Amino acid sequence: MSRAALAARTGENVRTPPVRIIHLGLGAFHRAHQAWYTDQVDDNGEWGIAAFTGRSAQAALELSPQDGLYTLIERSDAGDSAALVSSIVEAVDGSDTARFVELMAAESTALVTLTVTEAGYRLRADGSPDLGDSALAADVAFLADNLDRAARGAFSAGGPTTTLGRLVLGLEARRLAGAGAIAIVPCDNMPDNGPLVERAVWALAAMLNTETAEWIAAHVAFVSTSVDRITPKTTADDIEAAAGLTGWADRAPVVTEPFRDWVLSGHFPAGRPAWERAGARFVDDIEPFERRKLWLLNGAHSLLAYAGLLRGLDSVAAAMTDPVCRGWVNEFWDDAVRHLPAELLALDEYRAALLERFDNTRIEHRLAQISAEAVTKLRVRIAPVVLAERAEGRQAAAGIRAIASWASLVLAGRPMVDAEAAQIAVIASRPTDAAIAGLVALVDARLAQDAAILADITALIGEHQAE
């Protein structure tokens, strides 16, 4: 249903705000989170979003015939409620570099949000751009030859395919157009995501053109965020449920939980929607909030994913009804909260709310989905808790279990999506002890260098293999 068709059908005039926000990574989460917050607060119709897909054009193909409109279903044990979200005014195939460059060069564009997954940034463990990555290497080669022409929109075909490559090209287009300062707002589950992306973008730009890098340093604000709203992939049943709720055959609805949270730190030189009116919080120091969310929520998710899959379970809610998995989650939380500021973060309330959210049996969050990209996820969700606990002489048994469960699944040949899949396969083919050490080192070298940690992980993997 287009905006015009909707108006004709309901008499409701759904406006089309001008594009002032670019989004990269048009998945379910963007539609449940940033697009929803923007929709909630844009009373005057000032903040339209042009959302670009990542690796597949599918979401753009689904949303474009609907003028970007979609149904957001909030699902709890009490039932479903559906709302129409209209903040996405353009759903664009990510390979449409010309449109991306055009919008980046427009003075009216104030900010770029991103949800491209942790692995989508193609960073090494130290945060530097992974130039061993073939797609990133291809983008560097393309931009080395074409940066100026491409940024002026004067190239025939092709263009960068990676997030970092696209950002550098877009920022160069903005510099050449004299369109002024802009904010980049990464909304992926990575600690310190603003400065992390800033360093990577700057490093890539510095390889290509000193003036670009200098302009970025002076004109681009990188905002850190902690984002939260459990949003699984849309299923065929969800599409049917949306039609039942609204009477409209939406091809791209999203199902999410009622809970949402957005903490941001940084500045927006060209303005932003008043997201705080929908509950977003702007803080000076985001680190404690990031840790709380990444360790308690995402860490528990990853623990459940690997340990739960090993126990034959398939969703978060199913794993939470398993007393053994539930016990491990509580154990992990006991460990993690020792390294968080309890008063500032209201940790008891946070844990209680998390239990309720994980117990929401109507949100079908598949462990297989969460299990993807183990290397980047375990590195930031589990390893810091294990290292902090070990440094204080405790076992960190639940965190050890998460890592050992993942390694057991790898060694058992279970297919799991991972940007590091090729390296994982090479390591897994080594003799068992070397394979375990290699896998653990891939997550965090410090874990593998600690003989006691390695011995505990090896023992647990031995138990799994004997089962």
Ligand X SMILES: O=P(O)(O)OC[C@@H](O)[C@@H](O)[C@H](O)[C@H](O)CO
Taking CB under 6 A as the criterion, which residues in 185-204 touch ligand NAD?
A: 188-189
Strand, helix or coil at 84?
A: strand
Nearest distance from C-beta of residue 231 to ligand NAD, angstroms: 4
Nearest distance from C-beta of residue 294 to ligand X, angstroms: 8
User: What is d(CA 405, CA 311) in angstroms, rounded to the nearest whole number?
Assistant: 10
> Per CB under 6 A, does 450 bind ligand X?
no
In degrees rounded to 5, what are phi and psi of residue 224?
Answer: -90, 145
Size of the site for ligand NAD (CB under 6 A): 24
Letters for 179-198 (x = contact with ligand X by CB under 6 A, - = none) are ----------x---------
* Residue 117 backbone class (left: φ over 0; alpha: ψ -120 to 50; beta: rest): left
**Segment contacting ligand X by CB under 6 A, of 14-22, 174-182, 223-231, 397-405:** 223-231
User: What is d(CA 443, CA 232) in angstroms, rounded to the nearest whole number?
Assistant: 25
Taking CB within 5 to 8 Å according to partner kind, which of ligand X, ligand NAD, none is near residue 163? ligand NAD
**Segment contacting ligand X by CB under 6 A, of 2-10, 41-49, 66-74, 227-235:** 227-235
**Alpha helix (H) ranges present in 22-57?**
28-32, 34-41
Nearer to ligand X, 304 or 340 (CB): 304
> Per CB under 6 A, does 230 bind ligand X?
yes
Taking CB under 6 A as the criterion, which residues in 111-140 touch ligand X?
A: 118
Binder to ligand NAD among 48, 68, 120, 384 (CB under 6 A)? 120
Taking CB within 5 to 8 Å according to partner kind, which of ligand NAD, ligand X, none is near residue 186? none
> Per CB under 6 A, does 457 bind ligand X?
no
Taking CB within 5 to 8 Å according to partner kind, which of ligand NAD, ligand X, none is near residue 10? none
Question: For the residues of 347-368, what is the DSSP string, one character each?
Answer: HHHHHHHHHHHHT-TTS--BHH
User: What is d(CA 177, CA 173) in angstroms, rounded to the nearest whole number?
Assistant: 6
- Are 250 and 73 in contact by the 8 Å Cβ rule? The answer is no
Instruction: Give Cβ neighbours of residue 406 (< 8 Å, ≥ 6 apart).
Output: 302, 306, 371, 374, 378, 439
Taking CB within 5 to 8 Å according to partner kind, which of ligand NAD, ligand X, none is near residue 115? ligand NAD
- Are 140 and 54 in contact by the 8 Å Cβ rule? The answer is no
- Are 293 and 192 in contact by the 8 Å Cβ rule? The answer is no
Taking CB under 6 A as the criterion, which residues in 137-176 touch ligand NAD?
A: 163
User: What is the DSSP secondary structure assignment for residue 17, as one 8-state letter?
Assistant: P
Taking CB under 6 A as the criterion, which residues in 355-374 touch ligand X?
A: 370
Q: Give the type of residue at 229.
A: R
The pair of structure tokens assigned to 340 is 């968080």
Taking CB within 5 to 8 Å according to partner kind, which of ligand NAD, ligand X, none is near residue 370? ligand X
Nearest distance from C-beta of residue 49 to ligand X, angstroms: 20
Nearest distance from C-beta of residue 200 to ligand X, angstroms: 18
Taking CB under 6 A as the criterion, which residues in 268-307 touch ligand X?
A: 297-298, 301
> Per CB under 6 A, does 228 bind ligand X?
yes
Which residue in this structure is represented by tokens 């940024």? 151
User: What is the DSSP secondary structure assignment for residue 66, as one 8-state letter?
Assistant: G
> Per CB under 6 A, does 351 bind ligand X?
no
Taking CB under 6 A as the criterion, which residues in 225-244 touch ligand NAD?
A: 227-231
Nearer to ligand X, 97 or 298 (CB): 298
Instruction: Give Cβ neighbours of residue 434 (< 8 Å, ≥ 6 apart).
Output: 427
> Which among 60, 52, 79, 94 has a CA at the least distance from the CA of 251?
60
- Which residue spans within 194-315 are E strands per DSSP? 220-222, 224-228, 254-256, 261-265, 281-282
Residue 366's CB: how many other CB atoms inside 10 A? 16
Nearest distance from C-beta of residue 454 to ligand X, angstroms: 26
Q: Where does this chain bind ligand NAD (CB under 6 A)?
A: 25-30, 53-56, 115-120, 163, 188-189, 227-231
Q: Where does this chain bind ligand X (CB under 6 A)?
A: 118, 189, 228-230, 297-298, 301, 370
